[in-house]
Every structure is written in structure tokens, then in C-alpha cells.
A and B are shown apart, each in its own frame.
Chain A
Amino acid sequence: MKKPKVGIFDFACCEGCQLQIANMGEDVLSVLGSIDVLEWREVMSEKWGKKLDIAIIEGSITDPHAVKRIKQIRKKAKILIAIGSCATIGGVNGMKNNFGLDDIRKYVYGDSYRFFPTELTKAVHQVVKVDYFVHGCPMYIPEFVALIKAALQGIPYYPPDYPVCVECKLNENVCMYDRQVTCLGPVTRAGCNSWCINNGNICYGCRGMVSNPNEKGAQDVLAKYNIPMELILNKMNMYNKCRELT
């Protein structure tokens, strides 16, 4: 089998997901052994610019220039993979959408803000078609590897459509609610192996919400634990603000 030509591109993000790839250890060699990376700004200076089998996209789309660039990449790539919350759900960049766009620009660029056009933050699939999603901030490497395998075989990859609590229970963690701490696990899509809770943290909802959440039930639970709805929405907005755009 000929190795697929791959390009890795970043948009508005912290490049943490690419760092995850670089930090993969042994797996990185087998991944790199099975693909041909032709463009990857973080680790190489070459630019390819021609047709690609797979484009891997990190980061969200936040200005007109990015819109143009992602559309060009989409045209060149047979398969497009979005990695990390910024790309798959808008992620923390979505917090920008809480404010007026001009206010934001003035705050960041001062008087010369007019030279820096901007747009509401969008997830990649809100601009172009995405074939595969690797959710998470940062993405969870085992899931990335599983997805790459699926892409290489040309079969779909379905992220789990159930809450993080499932994995958390399987890891036999003491539930945060038993510790009187609010956790977004019950409404957040699994697939991270409850990474944060395993390490003593709460779930921040970085993978987006399950497709059919029981909102009424979730509200009852909050009421039972005396947690104001507001607090949850704020927490949820940290990663999931772009949900409102679709």
C-alpha cells in the first residue's frame, strides 16, 4: 500500500494537540511509519501545497483569512481530520463570542484594530466538511491513534456517544459529586477514558456534549445538589460556546 500524503495545519489554537502527537513516544514512530508527512509547520520548514490524502487540522476558524485558508486546504485534501476541541467544537476560542467583535478587537489591538478583521469563532465543521473528529483539549492520544487507523482503512470512526461517567465508573473513581464537587461528566461525550477525573480533576466538558442529553434530568440533578444552573452554563461555555452557532 502506498503511504498516504499527509499535511498538518494549525489555526487559532495553542498547538498543544500537535505537541501531543510529538509526545506520543513509541506510537509516533509507527504512525509516522504508516504515513508520509509533507507539511507540518511545527516540526518542519517544507511547504507542500499540492494534493493531499489527509489534512489534519488543529485550531478554530476565527478570521476571514482563516476561512479562505481552510477552504483551500479542504479542496486539496481527500480526507479532513479535525483534532482538538478548538477544531472540533470551537473550544476555548469560542469565549470570544461572548463579546462584541469590535470590543474584542479594540481590547487586543488598540487603535490599529481596523487592520485586523475578525469573525465569530467557529469549529472547522461549521465552515467546511469534516470527515473525522478527534475531540478533547488536548486530544487523547489513544483515540487519535484509533482514528488514524480508521482513516487508513477508509472506515468511519464513531466517538462514543455516551457520557464521561461511563468511563469514570469503569475506572472506579470516587464520583466528584460524592465529594461535593461539580463535574461536567454527566453531559460530556466520553472517549477520553475519563482522563481528568482519573487524575483528580473534574470534567470540564472539553469534548462537547452527548447528542441526546436529558436536559430536564440534568437540571433536576443540579437542583438536588444545590448547584445553580448559571454555574454549569459558565463552565460549559468555557469549551462549548460555539454550539450556539450551528
Chain B
Amino acid sequence: MEDMQYVILKKERFNDFISRLSKMQKLIAPVSKGYNNFAFEEVSSGSDIALKYIPTVLPLKKFFMPQRETLLEFKMAKGADAEAVVELEPMTIFGAHTCDLAGIQCLNMVFSERPKDYNYLTRKNRITLIGLECNEYCDEYASCHLVNASFPGGGYDLFFTDLGDYFIVHVKTQIGDEIVDVTGFFEKADVSHMNDLERLRDHKRKVFSNEVPIESKKLPELFDKSFRARVWKDLDERCLACGNCTNVCPSCYCFDIRDELDLSLKNGVRFRIWDSCQLEPFARVAGGINFRKERSARQRHRYYRKFRYSVDRFSRFFCTGCGRCTRTCMAGISLKETLNELIKESEDRVWKKWL
């Protein structure tokens, strides 16, 4: 294949590579926050980086769609005295796992729909993405294989795989190629390196398998049958509606738009901030009516957005299997358990028909 270009980076040159990279433009990578928590933060040396990490508290979307982003600056004078604003900062992100790359692919599709979101798209074009392969599962909460995100599927400029004393690196784009050229620490990969990579992938094919007992392509059908499933009622009793599960989700992108004036009441900005379908006021409208008042309806909505609605609209799951929602939930609501329950319930129904 034309774009199949592999190079290697010896481990002893990793620190030099990272230092060099961080001098080219702002460099972001996973760092440890203690208590097995990690976050994507700015780094300047290889020793800052946690190469073995479980998904960070917040996913990469925090760079692609910041938590608060100004869209417009306006004056309260007569007439439309308003100016559109795009806030952006070029950066390189190193160490994105395949689930997080999939998350960005989801956002790209959403924000490329018409009307296009130029704030997002302009920013995205200034971000260089360097992936990092998971050789093993990060922990028991992940379900990346189920949603086809356990192996690299594009969405990066460079992709690193740790093969012991060196990284093998897939160069996917021209920007990736330039990084390889400019930093100058890479060597061409030869057959033995390619064999090492193939061996790792073979190993992964043994380790990674669908984390819940269902074929991926049957998931939409499962959800078609599950709108009135018992499990939603159960979630109603447990969910605290804290919104953590959507805020940490790499493919949740809902936002609210607000206007704010300065104290002179003469100048203002229009900005957007993250919002969450799990929060009480999200679906509350004028007159005090709330069309998803029950927590069960909100939770169900979240799951359908991940496994059903997005299949019709974008032909893919909007769950990347990163496991963040499960890890973060104080109430112990687990994505894998919910899916297991749904499968069990639908099987029960099939049996009942036969008996």
C-alpha cells in the first residue's frame, strides 16, 4: 500500500525526540496525577510522560472543543456590531490511544455536518495527533474491541507501537512525515521490525475479544428491542445525575450557548460551554416542563446515542469503548453490565416466545 510507511525510534532517543517535539509547538501528552488517574497536559520532556496509562480523566475533546469557547464578540450599539471569533492554539498531542483517536473521528463527523462548525474544524486542522498502541487491555472497564477501536484505524498523523527497546511508527500523513524528517531521530523499519509488529498484533488478536457476548453488528438490533427494558428503571434508582459519564466521554459533544455582557453592559461575548444530557436542567424548557425528567430516560438516551442513533446517522458507534463512564461513576453504573443486562433480557424474551 502506498501510505504504508514505517520507521522506528530507538528507546534511547525517545527523550530527545520529545524535547525536540516540544520545541516545535506546544506538546500535550498523558501524565500521571496519582491514584491511578491520568490527564493530558503540556509536557517538555520524555520523563513527564506516562507511557503506560489508563484513559485520562478527560478525553482529548478538551483540546478540540474547549470547555468554554468564545464564538462571537459584540457591542450593544444599534445594528449588528458583532464579530465572529475562532480561538485556536496549534499543538501536538502525543500518546493518544486508539479509543481516543476514534473519539476524535466521531467529533470530526459531527462537526463536519452542515452547517459546518468552523470553530471546531479550524482548530482541529492545527492539531497534530500522534497515537500510541495499547499492547494489552488498560483495565477491565474497557470495551474497545466491541466497537472496533482496539486496533489502529486511522485518524492520526503518526502512530507509535512499543516493541520493547524501540517504537515502530506508522507515518500516515505529510505532517507526520515532516515530524520524522525534522526531528531526525528515526530510522527505516526493516523486515525484522515488521515481523515484531505482526507478532504483537497476533498476540493482541488473542487477548482482545468482544467484551460482552454479542456480535458488534447485532448491537443496533438489540437496542431496537430494548426501549422498555427493565435495566433503565434500575439505572433510575442508582444514577445521581452528576453528568460525569458524559463529561468524560470522548464522543459526547453537547454544548450550551450563552451571552455575557461586561459590567458596563456595553460589550459582550457569546460563548459555548459543555453541557450534559444527564443534568436536571438539560431538557427543562420554558414553562418548567422537563421532557426527560426521569433519570432513567436520561440514561437510556445516553446509551441510545452511543449504540443506536449514531449508527443511522453516521454509520458507526459513538462509543469508543474507553471505559471512562464506568470508571468515573460513583454509583457504579457500568457500561458493560448494562449491555449484559440488555442481552440477557432480550434472550429471556426470545425464550418466552418459544415456551
Contact = CB atoms under 8 A, between A and B. Distances in A.
A214 B248 contact: no
Interface residues on B, range: 35 or more
B72 interface: no
Interface residues on A, range: 35 or more
B279 interface: yes
Nearest to A31: B263
Given A177-B330, A186-B330, A210-B280, A166 B244 contact: yes
Interface stretch (B30-38, B86-94, B96-104, B105-113): B30-38
Interface in B252-291: 260-265, 274, 276, 279-281
B239 A217 contact: yes
Nearest to A225: B330
Given A33-B263, A149-B261, A169-B58, A218 B279 contact: no
A166 B276 contact: yes
Given A172-B39, A186-B330, A212-B280, A152 B240 contact: no
A178 B37 contact: yes
B279 A170 contact: no
B281 A217 contact: no
B261 A163 contact: no
B265 A149 contact: yes
Contacts of A175: 37, 328, 330
A187 B240 CA distance: 8
B67 interface: yes
The 8 lowest CB-CB distance pairs between A and B, nearest first, are A30-B263, A165-B242, A162-B279, A174-B37, A172-B57, A178-B35, A166-B243, A163-B242
13 contacts: A162-B241, A162-B279, A166-B244, A166-B247, A170-B58, A172-B33, A177-B330, A178-B35, A186-B242, A213-B240, A216-B237, A217-B237, A217-B238
Given A149-B261, A178-B36, 7 more contacts: A162-B242, A166-B242, A170-B274, A172-B33, A175-B328, A217-B237, A217-B240
